[in-house]
Amino acid sequence: MRPFLTSVLSCLCSPCRVKLWASAFGGEIKSISAKYSGSQLLQKVGSALLCSALERLRKSEREGEKDKYFNAVLINEVDEEGNSMELGGDFLLQPNDHFNNLSVNLSLSVVQVPTNMYNKDSAIVNGVYWSEALNKVFVDNFERDPSLIWQYFGSAKGFFRQYPGIKWRPDEHGVIAFDCRNRKWYIQAATSPKDVVILVDVSGSMKGLRLTIARQTVSSILDTLGDDDFFNVIAYNDEVHYVEPCLNGTLVQADVTNKDHFRMNLDKLLAKGIGMLDVGLTEAFEVLNDFNQTGRGSVCSQAIMLVTDGAVDTYDSVFAKYNWPDRKVRIFPYLIGRESAFADNLKWMACANKGYFTQISTLADVQENVMEYLHVLSRPKVIAQEHDTVWTEAYIDSTLEDGQGPILMTTVAMPVFSTKNETRNRGILLGVVGTDVPVSELLKTIPKYKYEESKKRRKPNYSSVDLSEVEWEDKDDILRNAMVNRKTGTFSMEVKKTVDKGKRVLVLHNDYYYTDIKGTPFSLGVALSRGHGKYFFRGNVTVEEGLHDLEHPDVQLADEWTYCDTDEHPEHRYLSQIEAIKLYLSGREPHLKCDKELIQEVLFDAVVTAPLEAYWTSLVLNKSENSDKGVEIAYLGTRTGLSRINLFVVPDQLTNQDFLTAEDKEGVFNADHFPLWYKRAAEQVPGTFVYSLPFNTGRYTCPLCENITEQSSFDTVGIQMKLEFFQRKFWTASRQCAALDGRCSISCDNENINCYLIDNNGFILVAEDYSLTGMFFGEAEGAVMNKLLLMGSFKRVTLYDYQAICRIFAESSDGSRALLDVSTPSQRGDRTMLVPCDTEYPAFVSERTIKETTGNIDCEGCIKSFVIQQIPSSNLFMVVVDNKCDCSEAAPITMDPIEIISLTAAAHNESLKCERLKFQKDRRRPDSCHPFHPEENSMECGGALNLSPSLMATLFCLLLALFPR
């Protein structure tokens, strides 16, 4: 276990025992216990903040440096005269491969302040300086655990301290909208889950700027809600109006899709009529009460956010009926506009219901004033001194890219608060500390040969993918719900696995084993495919014999598989895996950790496959066996990641020079598990051959090579040959059959028939028309393929892609979408844009038990006949089609995807849209809930009605612009 994971997991419990499940190649599940203890990373950070605060403040005041710090945007910037920008200065940045060659400073952190805030506000400057002691903590953590990446502290005042230091750049408008308090890790760590009704005044007095500010206020409130929260937005004047009418009387989960949907509807709010707040409040209380009874919401905190320009009464009768004496629903009034005539009434509501009152006069006020409610909701947790550690769902970190695209992250975070007894009842939240954990780091705890990682392109708004979207055959969510509810057990089902860029499908029967990981928010599941993967060979060979055969020049080990962990100690990091294996087996390096079982197995494979080298050499020497150089490569792969490759031609003469090289992502053993040719052969009947054509990035391909693989009980062997060589052999064989007296009554040379050779997924390998090579048979012979589907010779499998990207023709009159791969150029002149979408698409697979089929098709009175026959010991089928009848009227069968109707595309289908909005899967609730605390000072419920800090910042920036130095 890497030191980083030990540190992070120890935050959850110290000491604690975490139960992990790992797959053994024998098919059984082994229970592995690991005891985690040691210093607690996040608590150490929090303690450093508190312990050093007073000392650092006093020191900075003495030194007169209190208004200086490294601002992430201003570092290394100069003005027109070449002088360093204030709060900037020279800040050493160097590219670092651990941070994907981003330029960082490993000695110092930087501070980011949102654009809408004044970066020299006294509250920010004070916080920046008492948090400066974190620099040493950050550096110490990174030195202790080099696998760490970003560490940070998000302040309740809005600034964000990040390590290592890095330069931030504004967008094209000169704005950095990032506010750490809007991030999921901050919200989840600072507050408990909540059910929220946002009540918006749309009476006649809210016209113009006030309504604009109100819309922005609602949008900012939505920003502060996370997946553990539930909400609805209700407008009121003399009656109530649900912003989304189909959600009358209920709440929905505050996920990205639902929040975006409500934002789009905010423009529909129109100001008219008389504002009757009692009607709106009554509706809000009843919705919260009814929804709470269902048990589907947060079952924790409840709040009403009131956005209005005034209240003529205190409406104590409504509160007395619905909220007193327990005051379970907090009230947060936001007074819109500069008028303060109704401020007392609104502040009274906040104080009487454990809420908080703020006034929002301008758009610049919105962000900071909305944030005030988070301080109130965090008070119970802070007073209880609960250092709840939270792990966020997975998300994309756009600052790191690995060449394959943005990197998947999770964040572990913890609240930091004041422990002073004199301020205990105020529950002062100082902020949240956190560190990012790449999902790849979690996967490093599992041997590379025991899992498979997806490299799919992800949606721009990618968040965590639900398990039901990965194992979509689990229609009743049996596996999903069991893991969500932290159960331990097993489950089996038939699954379809796509390979070869989604064009092919493998039908597998998987056994699933799952359990919760004690002391963490995670559950772990392991899938084992029946048949292949259940048994393995393990033999005894001497170390000397194994190493001798392992070092043959034709032997390679799987790229990025961890036979030995060379990352843990710096002196091992430049060793190849074979070098590390030799060092480990020598016994001279006790600190080198290796997988003993895997090494034993790979040595055995090296020995038993060694005779192949001599066999292949003899074939090369016997020129008559390959006189026309049709066969180019022979190869072998075993389940231990060992491969042997032999060239029958010099490298420059290879038709496909990428095959079995590092550039061939699907053809080599690598971190993504087994290569495509191995996986396809492994699912075939042992002893049979798999013929396959590689697909290029275009729609069709006319490949010049073909791979033939055969699966034995423990390995896969194959050859690559020129496709033209294979096709020539096929046509020669068909003519030889016709020449035999009485054996073949008709030849493929006959002009009245078309002959095809197709594989088990319906792709054409051989056809008289060479342009059809690589095409799906249903596009060439739609009528015949349709008949084969009806007769059961082939079956259609519907697959789903919940991370698809669709291209919209933005200028088209019908707003239609084209489901094109992003690498495919558009053939239209319209402006296009890429949008996230869910798609379904077909794949086709043959029925193995059907060896031969004949059929007739009625093509408008003309009978078209055909025969299909399986070629023994292969995945190929010979199809002979009578071409005397024209069946071109029959629609071709394609593999084009279609979009699954989504919220945005379903605007015309209100019932389906509403059903999707209301649909809620089982989910795991957070372990803790802190809605109230008996020591809470609920009378701290709103500040004086003076000029807000954000407005002062805006005016200050305006003055600087008008009167520059």
Residue 500 falls in which region: left (phi positive, over 0), alpha (psi -120 to 50) or beta: left
Asked if 309 and 339 touch (Cβ cutoff 8 Å), the reply is yes
Spatial distance between the Cα atoms of 132 and 111, rounded to a whole number of angstroms = 10
In this structure, the number of other CB atoms found within 10 A of the CB of residue 300 comes to 20
Which of these, 115, 213, 221, lies nearest to 158 by C-alpha position? 115
Q: What is the dihedral of CA 219, 223, 226, 227, to 10 degrees?
A: 50
Spatial distance between the Cα atoms of 188 and 415, rounded to a whole number of angstroms = 9
Which residues, at least 6 apart from 358, have a Cβ–Cβ distance to it below 8 Å?
333, 334, 335, 369, 370, 372, 942, 943
Both tokens assigned to 444? 């490093």
Output the pLDDT for position 846: 92
Q: Which of 117-121, 710-714, 944-948 has the lowest mean pLDDT?
A: 944-948
Asked if 271 and 207 touch (Cβ cutoff 8 Å), the reply is yes
Spatial distance between the Cα atoms of 600 and 456, rounded to a whole number of angstroms = 34
Residue 253 is assigned to a structural domain of this protein: no
Structure confidence by residue, pLDDT tens digits, 295-326: 889 999 999 999 999 999 999 999 999 999 99
Output the pLDDT for position 138: 93
Residue 418 is assigned to a structural domain of this protein: yes
Spatial distance between the Cα atoms of 681 and 34, rounded to a whole number of angstroms = 37
Same domain, 718 and 775: no
Both tokens assigned to 199? 């009540």
Burial class (CB in 10 A: 0-12, 13-18, 19+), 964: exposed
Q: How confident is the model at residue 22 (pLDDT cuts 50, 70, 90)?
A: very low
Instruction: Evaluate if residue 958 carries a pLDDT over 60.
Output: no
Q: Which amino acid is at 33?
A: S
Number of domains in the chain: 4
Spatial distance between the Cα atoms of 302 and 432, rounded to a whole number of angstroms = 22
Spatial distance between the Cα atoms of 307 and 213, rounded to a whole number of angstroms = 10
Spatial distance between the Cα atoms of 648 and 525, rounded to a whole number of angstroms = 44
Q: How confident is the model at residue 399 (pLDDT cuts 50, 70, 90)?
A: low
Q: What is the dihedral of CA 358, 66, 51, 436, to 10 degrees?
A: 70
The overall pTM is greater than 0.75: no
Pairing of strands 230-236, 194-201: parallel
320-324 contact pairs (CB < 8 A, 24+): 322/281, 322/282, 322/285, 322/286, 322/289, 323/285, 323/353
Output the pLDDT for position 498: 79
Output the pLDDT for position 82: 84
Residue 931 is assigned to a structural domain of this protein: no
Q: Which of 197-206, 504-513, 833-842, 905-914 has the lowest mean pLDDT?
A: 905-914
Pinpoint the alpha helices (H) of 485-633.
543-550, 577-586, 596-609, 611-621
Output the pLDDT for position 352: 95
Q: How confident is the model at residue 788 (pLDDT cuts 50, 70, 90)?
A: very high
Residue 827 is assigned to a structural domain of this protein: yes
Beta bridge partners of 709: 690, 718
Same domain, 779 and 867: yes
Output the pLDDT for position 35: 27
Domain that holds residue 99: 70-183+393-439
Same domain, 754 and 890: yes
Spatial distance between the Cα atoms of 884 and 623, rounded to a whole number of angstroms = 45
Which residues, at least 6 apart from 509, have a Cβ–Cβ distance to it below 8 Å?
492, 493, 494, 495, 529, 530, 531
Spatial distance between the Cα atoms of 486 and 518, rounded to a whole number of angstroms = 9
Q: Please report which helix (H) or strand (E) contains residue 665, including its range.
A: none
Peptide bond into 694 cis (omega under 30): no
Structural Rg of the chain based on CA atoms: 33
Which residues, at least 6 apart from 320, have a Cβ–Cβ distance to it below 8 Å?
none
What is the mean predicted confidence (pLDDT) over 48-53? 46
What is the chain's length? 965
Residue 312 is assigned to a structural domain of this protein: no
The label of the residue with tokens 């700027």 reads: 209
Which of these, 742, 672, 711, 715, lies nearest to 873 by C-alpha position? 711
Output the pLDDT for position 955: 29
What is the mean predicted confidence (pLDDT) over 657-664? 73
Burial class (CB in 10 A: 0-12, 13-18, 19+), 588: exposed
The label of the residue with tokens 């390679």 reads: 556
Spatial distance between the Cα atoms of 192 and 184, rounded to a whole number of angstroms = 12
From 896, 925, 949, the end of a domain falls on 896
Output the pLDDT for position 919: 76
Residue 684 is assigned to a structural domain of this protein: yes
From 535, 554, 578, the end of a domain falls on 535
Structure confidence by residue, pLDDT tens digits, 745-775: 778 888 889 999 999 999 999 999 988 998 9
Asked if 392 and 413 touch (Cβ cutoff 8 Å), the reply is yes
Tell me the pLDDT of the chain averaged across its residues: 79
Q: Kindly state the DSSP code that residue 338 receives in the 8-state scheme.
A: S
Torsion angles phi and psi, residue 204, rounded to 5:
-60, -30
Output the pLDDT for position 256: 84
What is the mean predicted confidence (pLDDT) over 811-815? 39
Specify the higher pLDDT residue, 570 or 546: 546
Structure confidence by residue, pLDDT tens digits, 789-809: 999 999 998 887 766 777 766
Instruction: Evaluate if residue 904 carries a pLDDT over 60.
Output: no
Pinpoint the alpha helices (H) of 460-574.
467-470, 478-484, 543-550
The secondary structure of 269-286 as a DSSP string is ----S---HHHHHHHHHH
Q: Which of 103-112, 386-395, 936-945 has the lowest mean pLDDT?
A: 936-945
Percent of the chain topping pLDDT 90? 35
Same domain, 869 and 757: yes
Structure confidence by residue, pLDDT tens digits, 54-98: 444 444 444 445 557 899 999 998 888 888 888 888 999 999 988
Burial class (CB in 10 A: 0-12, 13-18, 19+), 688: middle
Q: How far is CA 138 from CA 5, 37, 135, in A?
A: 16, 20, 5
Query: What CATH number should be reported for the domain holding residue 849?
Result: 3.30.450
Which of these, 429, 160, 555, lies nearest to 150 by C-alpha position? 160
Residue 9 is assigned to a structural domain of this protein: no
Output the pLDDT for position 941: 92
Specify the higher pLDDT residue, 676 or 701: 676
Same domain, 475 and 623: no
Q: What is the dihedral of CA 392, 396, 399, 400, to 10 degrees?
A: 100
Residue 224 falls in which region: left (phi positive, over 0), alpha (psi -120 to 50) or beta: alpha
Specify the higher pLDDT residue, 939 or 802: 939
Same domain, 708 and 833: no
Asked if 831 and 854 touch (Cβ cutoff 8 Å), the reply is no
Which of these, 113, 76, 115, 112, lies nearest to 92 by C-alpha position? 76
Same domain, 892 and 764: yes
Q: Which amino acid is at 848?
A: R
Terminal alpha carbon distance of the chain = 56
Spatial distance between the Cα atoms of 850 and 792, rounded to a whole number of angstroms = 8
What is the mean predicted confidence (pLDDT) over 737-751? 70
Output the pLDDT for position 494: 87
Q: How far is CA 445 from CA 203, 516, 522, 597, in A?
A: 59, 16, 14, 16
Both tokens assigned to 60? 């900075």
Same domain, 74 and 28: no
What is the mean predicted confidence (pLDDT) over 409-429? 84
Q: How confident is the model at residue 431 (pLDDT cuts 50, 70, 90)?
A: very high
Q: How confident is the model at residue 247 (pLDDT cuts 50, 70, 90)?
A: very high
Output the pLDDT for position 743: 62
Same domain, 577 and 518: no
Residue 416 is assigned to a structural domain of this protein: yes
Both tokens assigned to 632? 């180019």
Highest mean pLDDT among 279-293, 405-419, 717-731: 279-293
Output the pLDDT for position 524: 86
Q: Is 33 helix (H, G, I), strand (E, B) or coil?
A: strand
Burial class (CB in 10 A: 0-12, 13-18, 19+), 687: exposed
From 692, 725, 758, the end of a domain falls on 725
Same domain, 549 and 585: yes
Instruction: Evaluate if residue 664 carries a pLDDT over 50.
Output: yes
The secondary structure of 710-736 as a DSSP string is EE-SSEEEEEEEEHHHHHHHHHHHHHH
Same domain, 523 and 645: no
Same domain, 672 and 562: yes
Instruction: Evaluate if residue 697 carries a pLDDT over 70.
Output: no
Torsion angles phi and psi, residue 396, rounded to 5:
-95, 125
Q: Is 246 helix (H, G, I), strand (E, B) or coil?
A: helix
Structure confidence by residue, pLDDT tens digits, 569-615: 878 888 889 999 999 998 888 889 899 989 999 999 999 999 988 88
